[in-house]
Structure 1
Amino acid sequence: ELVIAVGRQAARPVSWREGSRPGTGRSGLKRMHSRFVALRIRPAGREIRQATDGPELPERWLLAEWPAGESEPVQFWLSSLPSGMPLATLVRLAKLRWRIEHDYREMKQALGLAHFEGRTWAGWHHHVTLVSAAHAFCTLQRLTRDPKDPAPA
């Protein structure tokens, strides 16, 4: 309700990274962009006050994505980043979550992170190290190839 109360006019355009489609970005790719509202809020409520030592919690960021064609915001994030944080940085860090989840899913399913069946810390550490190295290799391969190039045989 807070974001809707400040209104659509408070939403500012932000571009946070280059996508995968051709465009006018530095690498020749289209930039990801949308409109965002960022507010400093102080969480409140009886349960929150009872769970803390003080009467109220410190201020937090409430970030909302409100695309130009939408009648209301489509996504929300709460953040404890410092109050002077630029809007573009807030958006980039909020949107980074998708990349992290994608990488974790790739490590679990395609690279075998979830397939460990050993019983020792050393064995687990060895397995995770090899999966991490494989993931780094795949990431470097992805970064050095043009997405339109055919996959190597």
Structure 2
Amino acid sequence: MKRLVIGAGRKAAKPVRWREGSRPGTGRSGFKRMYSRFVTLRIRPAGREVRQSVDGPEPPECWLLAEWPADQAEPVQFWLFDLPADTPLTTLVRLAKIRWRIEHDYREMKQALGLAYFEGRTWNGWHHHVTLGSVAHAFCTLQRLARAPPRHHAGLSLYRIVRELQTFLATWTGVCPTCHCGIPTPAPT
């Protein structure tokens, strides 16, 4: 892959900015702009493993995306995409660079929301745990994006938020949204 990109030349590399960084910088929002130069080529993958996994006479074309920063003598990272031929370069770069965000969110879910603390033994229990953790993460992300202090939720821990969401979902439907078990209703007093 590297030889293909080097063969295309440094002039084939186009600058792309994919997001604002998390550190202070000179961008419009006050954060460092994340950008680099990228080369794209349409290729047909080769190799024994590729040939064995393809049903037709030859594998379909795919995108080869290579990051080639201006201060580097050769490309530094490579990605293959099976997206359509008319996919814009900015979309390819954004998808390639989203890995950091996914890893950050997963680490946050494991540490802050307790995703790693499941000790059950059933599929339904695990699915229930992961679903509530994902909903809690979505809630926290929306609160963070609102940029307003969550005054009406002040004093709620993440554990309490998960419990509140679980109670809301159960009372709204009358059954657990994950395992579809009936939720017992309290006896009238």
How would you bin the TM-score normalised by the shorter chain? Answer: 0.7 to 0.9
- Per the TM alignment, residue 72 of structure 1 is displaced from its structure 2 partner at its CA by 0.8
Larger RCO: 1 or 2 (CA < 8 Å, sep 6+): 1
Which of 74, 86, 94 lines up with 1:84 in the alignment? 86
Q: How does 1:2-41 map to 2 (within 5 A)?
A: 2-20=4-22, 21-25=24-28, 27-41=29-43
Unpaired runs of 5+ residues, structure 2, are 149-153, 156-189
Q: How does 1:66-81 map to 2 (within 5 A)?
A: 66-81=68-83
Choose 1 or 2 for highest CA Rg: 2
Counterpart amino acid of 1:50? Q
In the aligned structure 1, how far is the partner of 2:146 from the partner of 2:44? Answer: 44
Q: Which residue matches 1:149? A: none
Q: Which residue matches 2:46? A: 44
Deviates most, 130-139 or 2-11: 130-139
Give identity over the alignment, percent: 75
**8 Å Cα contact 2:14/2:39 also seen in 1:** yes
Measured at CA, do residues 50 and 130 of structure 1 come closer, stay the same or move farther in structure 2, by a change above 3 Å?
Answer: closer
Q: Greater share of strand residues, 1 or 2?
A: 1
- Per the TM alignment, residue 142 of structure 1 is displaced from its structure 2 partner at its CA by 3.4
Deviating 4+ runs (over 6 angstroms): none
Measured at CA, do residues 62 and 118 of structure 1 come closer, stay the same or move farther in structure 2, by a change above 3 Å?
Answer: same
Deviates most, 130-139 or 71-80: 130-139
Residues paired across the two proteins, number: 147
